[in-house]
Amino acid sequence: MSDSPRAVILLSGGLDSATVLAIAKSRGFDCHTIGFDYGQKHNSELKAAYRVTEALGDHAHKVIRLDLGSIGGSALTSDEISVPVGGVAESGIPVTYVPARNTVFLSIALGYGEVIGATHLFIGANAVDYSGYPDCRPTFIEHFERLANVATAAVDGGPRWVVEAPLMSMSKADIIKVGNALGVDYAPTVSCYRADSSGSACGECDACRLRRKGFLDAGILDPTRYQPGISPKI
Domain coordinates in residue numbering, the chain = 6-183
Q: What is the 3-state secondary structure (H, E, C) of the chain?
A: CCCCCEEEEECCCCHHHHHHHHHHHHCCCEEEEEEEECCCCCCHHHHHHHHHHHHHCCCCCEEEECCHHHCCCCCCCCCCCCCCCCCCCCCCCCCCCCCCHHHHHHHHHHHHHHHHCCCEEECCCCCCCCCCCHHHCHHHHHHHHHHHCCCCHHHHCCCCCEEECCCCCCCHHHHHHHHHHCCCCCCCCCCCCCCCCCCCECCCCHHHHHHHHHHHHHCCCCCCCECCCCCCCC
Whether the CB-CB separation of 60 and 53 falls below 8 Å is answered with yes
Kindly report the number of other CB atoms within 10 A of residue 187's CB atom: 12
Kindly report the number of other CB atoms within 10 A of residue 207's CB atom: 26
pLDDT tens digit sequence for 112-121: 999 999 999 9
pTM for the predicted model, two decimal places: 0.96
Longest dimension (CA), the chain: 58
Does 6-183 carry CATH code 3.30.1050.10?
no
pLDDT in tens, the chain (234 residues): 568 999 999 999 999 999 999 999 999 999 999 999 999 999 999 999 999 999 999 999 999 999 999 999 999 999 999 999 988 877 789 999 999 999 999 999 999 999 999 999 999 999 987 667 999 999 999 999 999 999 999 999 999 999 999 999 999 999 999 999 999 999 999 999 999 999 999 999 999 999 999 999 999 999 999 999 999 998
* Distance (Å, whole) CA 162 – CA 140: 13
Q: How do 62-65 and 162-164 pair as beta strands?
A: unpaired
* Distance (Å, whole) CA 167 – CA 151: 25
Whether the CB-CB separation of 136 and 14 falls below 8 Å is answered with no
pLDDT of residue 162: 98
* Distance (Å, whole) CA 154 – CA 174: 34
pLDDT tens digit sequence for 119-146: 999 999 999 876 679 999 999 999 999 9
Amino acid at 26: S
Contacts of residue 197, defined as CB under 8 A and 6 or more positions apart, other chains included, come to 42, 44
Contacts of residue 157, defined as CB under 8 A and 6 or more positions apart, other chains included, come to none
